[in-house]
Amino acid sequence: MRGGQPPASPPTSGGKPPQAPTETTLDTDTRNRMRIERFHIIDSTLREGEQFALAHFTPEQKLQIAQALDDFGVDYMELTSPLASPQSAADLRLMASRPRSFRLLTHVRCNHDDAQLAIDTGVDGVDVLFATSSALRTVSHGYSIDEIIEIGASVVRRITDAGLEARFSSEDSFRSDPDDLLRIYRAIDKARPARVGLADTVGVATPRQVYELVSMVRRNVECDIEFHAHNDTGCAIANALAALEAGASHIDVTVLGIGERNGIVPLGGMIARLLTLQPELVERYDLEMLPQIDAMVAEILGIEVPFNTPVTAANAFHHKAGMHTKAVLADPHAYEVMDPGRFGLERQILAGHRLVGRHAIRDRAALLGIAFDDDQLRAVTNEVKRRSDDGPLANDELDALLMHWAVTKEGVG
Hey, which residues are catalytic here? 324
- In degrees rounded to 5, what are phi and psi of residue 247? 120, 0
Find all residues with CB under 8 Å of 52, minimum gap 6, and list them. 258, 259, 260, 263, 301
Quick check: 247 and 290 in contact, CB under 8 A? Answer: no
Q: How far is Cα 125 from Cα 159, in angstroms, rounded to an integer?
A: 8
Phi and psi at residue 107, to the nearest 5°: -130, 115
Residues 117 and 286: their CA atoms lie apart, in Å, by 34
Of 268, 275, 257, whose CA–CA distance to 312 is shortest? 268
**Cβ–Cβ under 8 Å, residues 112 and 132:** no
Residue 255 contacts residue 297 (beta carbons within 8 Å) = yes
Q: Is the dihedral of CA 91, 97, 101, 107 positive or negative?
A: positive
Distances in Å between the Cα of 329 and the Cα atoms of 52, 237, 244, 315, 350 are: 41, 30, 35, 17, 12
Q: Note whether 195 and 225 are within 8 A (CB).
A: yes
d(CA 154, CA 168): 11
